[in-house]
A = this chain, B = another copy of it.
Amino acid sequence: MKIVSFVPEPGQYAFTFGGADPVLRVKPGTALSLWTEDAFCGRLLSTSDHASTSLRPDELNPQTGPFYVDGAEPGDTLALHLVDLTPARRWGVSSLVPFFGGLTSTPQTPTLQEPLPERTWVYEYDAVAGTVGFEAQGSDFRVALPANPMLGTVGVAPAQREVRTSLVPSAFGGNMDTPEMRAGVTCFLRVNADGALFSVGDGHYRQGEGEACGTAVEGAMNVTVIVELIKGGGPQWPRIVSDEHLMVVGSARPLEDAWRAGQADMIGWLGELYGLDQLDAYQLLSQVSLAPIANVVDTNYSAVTKVSRTLLPPAEPYQGMHRALRRAADVMGTITY
């Protein structure tokens, strides 16, 4: 398998889905070895760096890409298999950004209250122990938490001629901020523009479900991804297949609509996989669904509909694409997760 490396220059980031020129053309079947800058463009370096003074509002969630996938046309299905996610720095950082987060008023839900105080936390990443270290600032509490590397953003160019900032999660993927986007999974996205124009970024060394304060343990990431293409069959919402689960990520406001999107798409998916009619699939999903919230802080909120494959008869979604990509990744011999 061909492995192509790409590390963006500082001026080469994309800050949108759609609207940016591709940095590279890749053929289906290519493995990419990428580097992604953190969500803050690397501007928060210590606990004394605060969002309001250190960040540039128009330079958040820098994307590595977009990549033009040869042969990808609207309606097709782009498959991105995350072979490996490895923290690229010895530290990650999280910060309270004024009027951003799940437990503060925001420009979208404004109040007249003062913003929360600013505070930045730096987490040391211990590659050997596989942990990130939380250090309280109002007390001497410390705890090492297991690192759980994931990507906040994986997306393609939107439909309907739109260009969206890399802060937005939607049907094109984007800033979904779900811990399910980890090494070992395959993400399936509907292609909306010639070449798909996908990009990745916003690496998290660890994130809780909901991403309450608005930022995870943000960090630069080394990303290995295999790119595949299936003609036709593009799903309505981003789907994720792992060895253990089938998942759909819905994004909307209010949060129940994000959940509805994922549930409705999963009902269709279960119908296809198992020959169930819609009502039977609705019933079955009602009893087997997991429903972890992804984020309640972004422009749209995201919720995951998640079904354990072990509960159901064997099935090979997308003609076994995930399994094939797992094997291909094994062959690459670079898997570190």
Q: CB within 8 Å of B: which residues of A?
A: 15-16, 18-19, 58, 94, 96, 102-105, 107-117, 119, 121, 132, 134, 136-139, 141, 143, 145-146, 160-165, 167, 206-217, 236, 252-257, 259-261, 263-264, 267, 274-280, 282-293, 296, 301, 303, 305, 311-313
Give the residues in chain B near A16, CB-CB below 8 Å. 161-162
**Is B209 within 8 A of A291, CB to CB?**
yes
Using A113-B104, A280-B137, A286-B212 as known contacts, say yes or no to A259 and B163 having CB atoms under 8 A apart.
Answer: no
A-B pairs with beta carbons under 8 Å apart, 11 shown: A19-B161, A104-B111, A110-B264, A138-B277, A145-B311, A162-B162, A162-B164, A208-B289, A209-B289, A210-B289, A213-B282
CA distance A63 to B305 in the complex (A): 31
**Is B254 within 8 A of A208, CB to CB?**
no
**Is B161 within 8 A of A163, CB to CB?**
yes
**Is A160 within 8 A of B282, CB to CB?**
no
**Is B94 within 8 A of A208, CB to CB?**
no
CA distance A105 to B277 in the complex (A): 20
Give the residues in chain B near A108, CB-CB below 8 Å. 252, 257, 261
Min CB distance, A208 to chain B, in Å? 4
Min CB distance, A159 to chain B, in Å? 9
Give the residues in chain B near A212, CB-CB below 8 Å. 263, 282, 285-286, 289
Residue on B with the closest CB to A214? B286
CA distance A207 to B311 in the complex (A): 13
Residue on B with the closest CB to A179? B290
Partner of A311, one of B143, B217, B263, B301: B143
CA distance A94 to B285 in the complex (A): 12
Most buried by B among A160, A211, A212: A212
CA distance A211 to B146 in the complex (A): 31
Partner of A134, one of B116, B261, B287: B287
**Is B117 within 8 A of A111, CB to CB?**
no
Give the residues in chain B near A113, CB-CB below 8 Å. 104-105, 111, 113-116
CA distance A276 to B210 in the complex (A): 20
**Is B111 within 8 A of A290, CB to CB?**
no
Give the residues in chain B near A138, CB-CB below 8 Å. 276-277, 279-280
Give the residues in chain B near A276, CB-CB below 8 Å. 136, 138-139, 141
Min CB distance, A331 to chain B, in Å? 34
Min CB distance, A283 to chain B, in Å? 6
**Is A291 within 8 A of B292, CB to CB?**
yes
Min CB distance, A37 to chain B, in Å? 17
**Is A286 within 8 A of B162, CB to CB?**
no
Min CB distance, A161 to chain B, in Å? 5
